[in-house]
Structure 1
Amino acid sequence: MTEPTREDGAPWRNFYGRRHGKTLRSGQKQHMQTTLQEIAPRGVTWAENPARAAIDPGALFADGRPLWLEIGFGGGEHMLAQAAANRDVGIIGCEPYVNGVAMFLSQMAREEIDNIRVHAGDARDLLDVLPEASIDRAFLLYPDPWPKKRHHRRRFVNPEFVDPLARALKPGAIFRVATDIPDYVRHTLEHMCARPDFEWLAERPADWREPWADWHRTRYEAKAIREERTPHYLTFRRL
């Protein structure tokens, strides 16, 4: 039986999040048509790279700098802050929600940040083509919790997603997860601590209750705190 394919020729992958919201403003549309094209990694989409050959990180940033990856950057507040504070690092952000990407691009242009590349799509497509052991740090910040038990397989912290992430992370690379949902904390620890290729770095309660020293609060965290939910900060190291 032939596998169903998408319009770009890719094998069909279920995607459960939102891709579009309100109509973009004219300036946002312009950034999607110009700025995004300038900073989108080449060879990520199936139409560009049907063989799924590994892309060249040197083509993203020509100076061989460390690469960080943010999966689902939302409005991009954290990614912008990290890029501004770490100009010698190249950051790749993945976000399928068009309105979030457009909002981020406008802010990035205003702040004249140039060390970010954006894949406006499913992180799985990027993970397909990242070379093995190419990423120095990864962030998963306030992912969709999919609270119903029958939807838990949609959560990012499952082998379908973490296996290719593990392949792309360098030995010793750090993987940070932030969430305000207690069951997502439990789910993440259950899955990550059972893996032989990661270790949880917490030694005391403050290590998951207090934010990282270089943390920049996102709008999702601000909302969680307003609604009296408690953020948790989990740090794992790729072995």
Structure 2
Amino acid sequence: MLYESAAAALRHTLSPALRGILWKSLGLTLGILLFAWFGLTRLIQWFQTSHHISAQYPILDTVAYYLAGFGLFVALAYLMPAISILVAGFFLDYAAEIVERTDFPADPPGQAMPYGLAMVYAVRFAGLTLLVNLVALAIFFIPLVGVAAFFGANAYLLSREYFEMAAARFRPLPEAAEMRRSHAARTLLAGCLLAGLMVVPVVNLVTPLFGIALMVHLHKRLSGRRPQLRQPGTLAPPLPPR
């Protein structure tokens, strides 16, 4: 079931129908990452200047330069899951609707959550993910423990966020959460896949869109639905204008 859902999600992520959303998602993600990079580099420069590190210990300035570069790379890697969840809040419903209409045309499409509620939900989860990853970052240098904490925490958080947001298009949020718990093994395995993609440079930039498509398919399959194959060249029913 997970293999079929992942294959369908990959097909959708690279499809012309989602290409516009893909570029918007990439642009927003890169914008947030650049903003975070700018803020962290300025913070490091301020710390060095305010503590007169360069003047007192010139050699430490060079060492700090390379350590800062490595540290920023690690820090941004730990920020990616939270950024992914925040980005998903902007594009989830429209991307989910495309997947539903393309692969499940006989089923009525889901109902989007009110935009304000969807963003509150996304921001809340992004904040929780950021907090959890800051804790994981604090224990990064403990052998194995830091990596295991990062992977395990994000597998759970990503599976919870994406599945519940996809399921909430068809059922109340408490019922969506209960469905996730009832299928915890499968949803968590999907979360492990997403957490693994998060640590792959460049690939992690398309993870939000892939995660949306993946969980739409997984939710449908767990609900007893199967995608309907189309003949080559056949178009999906048109979407309402956005």
TM-score (norm 2): 0.25
> Which protein has the bigger helix share?
2
TM-score (norm 1): 0.25
Rg larger in 1 or in 2?
2
